[in-house]
Amino acid sequence: MELGTVVTALVPPLVEVGLVLKSDSIDAYAAARAALSGRASVIPKDDTVSGIRALHNAARSAVKARTATLNQIVHILITAPDDIRVKYSALRGKTQVDAISRLRPTGDGPRVALLTALKTLARRVQALTAEHDTLTAALDTAATEHNPGLRAAFGVGPDTAAQLLVTAGGNPDRLRREASFAALCGVAPVPASSGRTNRHRLSRGGDRGANSALYRIALVRMSSDARTREYVARQTAAGRTKKEIIRLLKRAIAREIFRYLTTPVTVPDVSDLRPARQAKNITLTTVADHFGVWPAVISCIEHGRRRDDDLAGAYRDRLTAA
């Protein structure tokens, strides 16, 4: 059988496994040989990631539009009359937006037009905030259903989980090693040694969205995770700078995230904790005081927003004993 006939016969299965066919005859022959030799044994893409990508893009666009609208409010207040500028510039964040949205401009003239513009922009900010909250909730549900282990990892929120899933794509099996995933995220160390100085620097390549997601995870763990804080203290004592420590953390987090993306992880069920506590009339503060943590930590564990298997197990034993 001629190789051209084989190429024609292999077009449908190659499309199914996600290989991109080109009109170039060399690429066609290479694709055919890869399929015949078994090297092109790629699993078909998962359509779930395309839905997560769409939700993630919509949520990010809502944030960008809200930021642009807030900037417009600031610019209008800068040139507004003194009484309006002093009254509303002293407020910050949601308080300022809510106060401006309650304006009731009446009459005619430049002052009324200015107040009308401010009120319209404030209402737009509120609408975009509600839209972003709705999209984030849908994104959280989709990411949790697609990869519960990734979503339950410490410091991984809906946005970061979605970004990492989008970066891995609908077929994470194409990433053969965790080193390739680290390079894809731009956290692979780049040698920058000179003379007797042996060091590495940050990589400026890769997917910057994934790099940003790993950076946010590293910051959360540096502030809230006991093991990470101990690691940072050891590295600081060894003379490393904060940038170098974050680079090391991002590389280690990429290794962990790669396992979540390529290996199914079973997340322990915590839905029974809150009903059991309420049935015994035990408050969050009582439980938090017993374990020496903030009540918000216990609440996050009860609602599944934070994963701490050791604390959840000890919490369950405490409720059973009580």
42, part of any domain: no
In whole angstroms, what is the distance from residue 58 CA to residue 128 CA?
11
169, part of any domain: yes
In whole angstroms, what is the distance from residue 221 CA to residue 218 CA?
5
Q: Hey, which of 103-107, 118-122, 182-186, 289-293 has the most confident mean pLDDT?
A: 118-122
300 pLDDT above the threshold of 90: no
15 pLDDT above the threshold of 50: no
Residue 311 has, within 13 A of its CA and on its CB side, a CA count of 21
In whole angstroms, what is the distance from residue 210 CA to residue 208 CA?
5
Type of residue found at 217: I
pLDDT given for residue 237 in this prediction: 95
Of 93 and 16, the one with more pLDDT? 93
Same-domain check for residues 188 and 98 = no
Q: Which two tokens stand for residue 231?
A: 């690691």
pLDDT given for residue 131 in this prediction: 97
Range(s) of the domain holding residue 296: 273-321
Across the range 62-76, mean pLDDT stands at 96
pLDDT given for residue 23 in this prediction: 56
Using DSSP's 3-state secondary structure scheme, residue 201 falls into strand
Mean pLDDT of the chain: 85
In whole angstroms, what is the distance from residue 231 CA to residue 245 CA?
9
Q: What is the per-residue pLDDT across 25-49, written as a single tens digit (0 to 9) for each?
A: 777 777 777 777 766 665 555 677 8
Across the range 90-109, mean pLDDT stands at 89
In whole angstroms, what is the distance from residue 66 CA to residue 277 CA?
40
Beta bridge partners of 194: 197
% of the chain surpassing 70 pLDDT? 87
Across the range 241-263, mean pLDDT stands at 92
Same-domain check for residues 23 and 56 = no
Range with lowest mean pLDDT among 92-96, 264-268, 293-297:
264-268
- The torsion defined by the Cα of 127, 130, 134 and 140, in degrees rounded to 10, comes to 130
27, part of any domain: yes
Same-domain check for residues 29 and 63 = no
Same-domain check for residues 33 and 58 = no
43, part of any domain: no
pLDDT given for residue 264 in this prediction: 78
Q: Which two tokens stand for residue 158?
A: 């809906």
Same-domain check for residues 257 and 289 = no
Q: Which of 231, 262, 293 is the last residue of a domain?
A: 262
% of the chain surpassing 90 pLDDT? 43
pLDDT given for residue 21 in this prediction: 47
Same-domain check for residues 303 and 242 = no
pLDDT given for residue 62 in this prediction: 96
Same-domain check for residues 200 and 163 = yes
Handedness of CA 56, 173, 181, 269 (dihedral sign): positive
pLDDT given for residue 252 in this prediction: 94
Number of independent structural domains in the chain: 4
Same-domain check for residues 73 and 134 = yes
Same-domain check for residues 184 and 226 = yes
16 pLDDT above the threshold of 50: no
Closest listed residue to residue 170, CA positions, set 308, 64, 43, 7 = 43
Same-domain check for residues 156 and 257 = yes
Spatial contact of 100 and 118, defined as CB atoms under 8 Å apart: yes
115, part of any domain: yes
pLDDT given for residue 200 in this prediction: 65
Across the range 266-278, mean pLDDT stands at 84
Range with lowest mean pLDDT among 77-86, 131-140, 236-245, 267-276:
267-276
Closest listed residue to residue 16, CA positions, set 246, 199, 170, 202 = 170
267, part of any domain: no
Across the range 56-83, mean pLDDT stands at 95
Using DSSP's 3-state secondary structure scheme, residue 24 falls into coil
In whole angstroms, what is the distance from residue 243 CA to residue 60 CA?
27
Q: Which of 96, 129, 146 is the last residue of a domain?
A: 146
Q: Which of 230, 262, 294 is the last residue of a domain?
A: 262
Of 137 and 17, the one with more pLDDT? 137
Q: What is the per-residue pLDDT across 170-227, written as a single tens digit (0 to 9) for each?
A: 777 777 888 889 989 988 877 767 777 666 666 777 889 999 999 999 999 999 888 9
pLDDT given for residue 266 in this prediction: 77
Same-domain check for residues 7 and 74 = no
89, part of any domain: yes
Same-domain check for residues 127 and 160 = no
Across the range 6-21, mean pLDDT stands at 47
Per DSSP bridges, beta strands 200-201 and 190-191 are antiparallel
231 pLDDT above the threshold of 90: yes
pLDDT-based confidence at residue 61 (cuts at 50, 70, 90): very high
244, part of any domain: yes
CA distances from 87 to 69, 81, 117 (A): 19, 10, 16
In whole angstroms, what is the distance from residue 106 CA to residue 21 CA?
64
Spatial contact of 71 and 124, defined as CB atoms under 8 Å apart: no
